[in-house]
Amino acid sequence: MNLTIISKSPEETKKLGREVGKLAKPGDLLAFYGELGAGKTCFIQGISQGLEVKDYVTSPSFTIVNEYQGKIPIYHFDLFRLDHAEDILELGYEEYFYGEGLTVIEWAEKIEHFLPKEHLKIDIKFKDYYQRKISFIPQGDRFNHFLEELNRIENIRD
CA dihedral defined by 87, 81, 78, 33, rounded to 10 degrees?
-100
**8: three-class secondary structure by DSSP:** coil
* pLDDT tens track, the chain, 158 positions: 899 999 999 999 999 999 999 999 999 999 999 999 999 999 999 999 999 999 989 887 778 899 999 999 999 999 998 988 888 888 889 999 999 999 999 999 999 999 999 999 999 999 998 899 999 999 999 999 999 999 998 767 65
**75: three-class secondary structure by DSSP:** strand
What CATH number is associated with residue 86?
3.40.50.300
Count of domains forming the chain: 1
pTM: 0.94
Domain carrying residue 84: 3-157
